[in-house]
Amino acid sequence: MSDLNKTDNMTSQVMKEILSGGLLRTVIAIVLGFLVGAIFMIGSNKEFVESLAYIFARPGDAFSAAAAVVGDGYGALFKGSIYNFDADTFEKAIRPLTETLRLGAPLIAAGLGIGLTFRVGLFNIGGTGQLIFGMIFATYVATRVELPMVLHMVVALIAGIVGAALLGALVGFLKARTGAHEVILTIMMNYIALYFFTFLMRNPDLLQESRATGNPKADAAAETALFPKLLGDSYSLHWGLIFALIAVVVFWWLMERSTIGFRLRMVGFNPDAARAAGINVEKTYILAMALSAGFVGVAAANQSLGVAVGVTPSAHANIGFDAITVALLGGSSGPGILLAGLLFGAFKAGSPSMQVIGVSPEVLGIVQGAIVLFIAAPPLIRAIFRLPKPQTTNALGEMRRRIFVKGGAK
């Protein structure tokens, strides 16, 4: 009897947490995001617009046109990102899923990095710059250094992490020393990193491919440095996924289990109390920025070492910015970021097949933006669905409070 009560109690507790906390809101945000995307698809559909002309005579046409375009669009997204039932073999049918995993991996790793700074009360907008710095280091090692198999890859991966971490540490150092705001610093570093990278790729003595004719492009990574394929040569999925999963575990350990993460979180919640508890808050900011960028560096190595094609200035693939949305959607927790990264990876994998059937893939960008909008502005969702006010303050809530209530991240 008492056991039953206990279970009952626990269930209601769990329900309460879901209702008041993040999970339900996250799911609602995703659903709403897809709805917004659907509206755009319908609005841009030729048949639907034409049927509007006689909507009062035959409203059915408009509805069926709308239903068809949404069904086709999201159907294509599913087929392009998870399972393609039109394929003749099972191997081909699950290829989209492997693409989702491949494209999600760097988003997960970089999302962990950005999420880490959220937990420390910082706002790292510099994912792109740090990613590029990591790519510079990883690409250099992969193209200009000769090392045996496996070792070469490991060294290149570490170089990518270290390169990114150095730029992150520099931002942390400037913040700690001069009080400059990390948002400004990281945004500016993005430009510096991007043009520095391009500059390096224009010079054959530095990173430029020997055969490239004036265009900024680096050599392809040496075969010894490439991430090995994970499921054989018929899939492009490579070890980047494994490294991203390792990063999730490391992140979880760091933030939830280790004393380092304890201090990081302490500084994030209450820097005054941290100072009085003997924590060097300035050094913690430097450490946090370095660690954050280090996770981004895993994504950098993924970009440099994942494919046997030389990188170009656009190889950062906007991962640094997408990572912010991944971290927000994932609530800055390891498992959350893993799922959010996979979702956005699926968007990336599925967008070509949407384009093929004539739905503009930009819809997915809108969905992505709308999801984060709904996540970041919880009062909006609460108002729409009359949800109760959340009871617990998590790191993300703290971040929101700073951004939306105080008028700026501290």
Partner 1 sequence: MKLELCGITKRFGALVANDAIDLVIEPGEIHALLGENGAGKSTLMNVLYGLYTADEGHIELDGVKQNFSGPGDAMAAGIGMVHQHFMLIPVFTVAENVALGHEPTKALGIMDLATARKNVIEISDRFGFNVDPDALIEDLPVGVQQRVEIIKALSRDAKVLVLDEPTAVLTPQETDELMEIMRQLAKSGTSIVFITHKLREVKAVADRITVIRLGKVVGTAQPDASTSELASLMVGREVMLTVDKKLATPGKVVLEVDHVSVLDDRLQKAVNDVSFQVHEGEILALAGVQGNGQTELAEFLLGLRKPWGKEGKSSLNGKEITNATVRQSLDSGLGFIPEDRKTDGLVSEFSIAENLMLNSSYKSRFTKGLNINFAARKKIANELIEEFDVRTPSAETPASKLSGGNQQKVVVARELSREIKLLIASQPTRGVDVGSIEFIHERIIAERDAGKAVVLISTELDEVLALADRIAVMYRGKIVGVVGPTTSREDLGKLMAGVTA
Q: Does 280 bind partner 1 (CB under 8 A)?
A: yes
Judged by CB under 8 A, the residue of 68, 269, 382, 390 near partner 1 is: 269
Q: Does 283 bind partner 1 (CB under 8 A)?
A: no
| Stretch of 175-183, 260-268, 306-314, 345-353 lying at the interface with partner 1 (CB under 8 A) | 260-268
Closest listed residue to residue 301, CA positions, set 344, 242, 357, 384: 242
Q: Which residues contact 138 (CB under 8 A, 6 or more apart)?
A: 156, 157, 159, 160, 163, 297, 300, 301, 304, 305
User: Rounded distance, CA 325 to CA 166, Å?
Assistant: 23
Residues numbered 304 to 333 that lie near partner 1 (CB under 8 A) are none
DSSP-based three-state secondary structure for 241: helix
Q: Which residues contact 3 (CB under 8 A, 6 or more apart)?
A: none
Q: Does 86 bind partner 1 (CB under 8 A)?
A: no
Least Å from the CB of residue 277 to partner 1: 4
Q: Does 273 bind partner 1 (CB under 8 A)?
A: yes
- Which CB, 99 or 398, lies closer to partner 1? 398
x/- track of binding to partner 1 for residues 155-194 (CB under 8 A): ----------------------------------------
DSSP 393: -
Least Å from the CB of residue 260 to partner 1: 6
CB 58, CB 51: distance < 8 Å: yes
Q: Does 263 bind partner 1 (CB under 8 A)?
A: yes
Least Å from the CB of residue 272 to partner 1: 5
Judged by CB under 8 A, the residue of 15, 149, 277, 309 near partner 1 is: 277
DSSP-based three-state secondary structure for 218: strand
The letter for the amino acid at 216 is P
Q: Does 53 bind partner 1 (CB under 8 A)?
A: no
Q: Does 58 bind partner 1 (CB under 8 A)?
A: no
Q: Does 28 bind partner 1 (CB under 8 A)?
A: no
Q: Does 262 bind partner 1 (CB under 8 A)?
A: yes
Total chain residues near partner 1 (CB under 8 A): 22
- Which CB, 184 or 273, lies closer to partner 1? 273
DSSP-based three-state secondary structure for 146: coil
Judged by CB under 8 A, the residue of 259, 388, 405, 407 near partner 1 is: 259
Judged by CB under 8 A, the residue of 274, 301, 311, 338 near partner 1 is: 274
Q: Which residues contact 226 (CB under 8 A, 6 or more apart)?
A: 142, 153, 238, 305, 306, 307, 308
Closest listed residue to residue 162, CA positions, set 136, 199, 124, 128: 136
User: Rounded distance, CA 62 to CA 283, Å?
Assistant: 61
| Stretch of 8-16, 108-116, 212-220, 271-279 lying at the interface with partner 1 (CB under 8 A) | 271-279
Closest listed residue to residue 410, CA positions, set 136, 123, 210, 170: 123
DSSP-based three-state secondary structure for 352: helix
- Which CB, 33 or 336, lies closer to partner 1? 336
Judged by CB under 8 A, the residue of 212, 242, 260, 403 near partner 1 is: 260
User: Rounded distance, CA 235 to CA 240, Å?
Assistant: 13
Q: Does 9 bind partner 1 (CB under 8 A)?
A: no
- Which CB, 280 or 312, lies closer to partner 1? 280
Judged by CB under 8 A, the residue of 270, 312, 355, 360 near partner 1 is: 270
262: number of Cβ within 10 Å? 14
Q: Does 16 bind partner 1 (CB under 8 A)?
A: no
CB 196, CB 128: distance < 8 Å: no
User: Rounded distance, CA 69 to CA 60, Å?
Assistant: 14
- Which CB, 216 or 261, lies closer to partner 1? 261
- Which CB, 89 or 392, lies closer to partner 1? 392
Q: Does 14 bind partner 1 (CB under 8 A)?
A: no
DSSP 405: I
Provide the H-helix boundaries in 120-150: 127-144
x/- track of binding to partner 1 for residues 373-402 (CB under 8 A): -------------------xx----x----
Give CA separation, 25 vs 35, 370, 371, in Å. 15, 13, 10
Q: Does 279 bind partner 1 (CB under 8 A)?
A: yes
* Half-sphere exposure for 364 (CA within 13 Å, toward CB): 25
Q: Residue 50: what are its φ and ψ, rounded to 5°? A: -65, -40
Q: Which residues bind partner 1 (CB under 8 A)?
A: 257-260, 262-263, 265-266, 269-270, 272-280, 392-393, 398
